[in-house]
Structure 1
């Protein structure tokens, strides 16, 4: 290396010298160690980009070690990522349930009846009931939202619940 080049890698001439000196070595190291499937050319370029981004902290004497370490770690991270991908591919999605076809049919029929009874409620009851039971709002929040008293909201919810209970056998809500 010529003596007029200083040890600051951030200078274009110094970085060019480092690139010309070590790029083939880094590429060959990655290619022979891991093979072509891990893109040794790309990893070499990425290592030099990292060197450029860290040029103020890496000295010229440490550049070679930095490049080889960074490139090797990138390939190892890719290998680790591929192992995770393979493990997830081995897991098969659940294609069956433990419920019987009769249960699934009954569930669908109950849902249809539930929607029908909900639609038959007057709007005030339905809105108060759904705000409370589906969205989990408290009676006081619903009263404030609808602009009525809390007692009115309670009446609407409980009257809707009684209609649902009467129309749908076995209807329970927690």
Structure 2
């Protein structure tokens, strides 16, 4: 007797997929990119795309479809945001009392810092940004990532060691 094909287009199945995966995908995006509101929006869009394409998606492939759509949407959002920021930076004219040399050194330092942060391993980068940008405590980070406080401390220590080495100014 042939196996019954489970259709994602059935409302109960779709709701089951939502209950099982929406929150997990949302936290995955939040941990990876650091924006909960954007993560929630992308999860909703991903499930909308699943519903639109439900006749083409097998039940067994629905989870990977959702993660793929959500991850791609997040990457596209980040690329878009970087483009917007780049053009805003060009349009903004700032006047400052700082010397051109200082401005150039500061720009070079920020470039080295950003490159160093982006070069960290994902776990180290997550911990560093959650602590230094989001102002989360080690305990809060440990709970969010589902790891021990010691693991957070170790990741942070390694991140700081690497960042110090990579952003060290050449003249010092």
The structure showing larger relative contact order (alpha-carbon pairs under 8 Å, at least 6 residues apart) is 2
TM-score normalised over the length of structure 1 = 0.48
Q: Which has the larger radius of gyration?
A: 1
Return the TM-score normalized by structure 2. Answer: 0.48
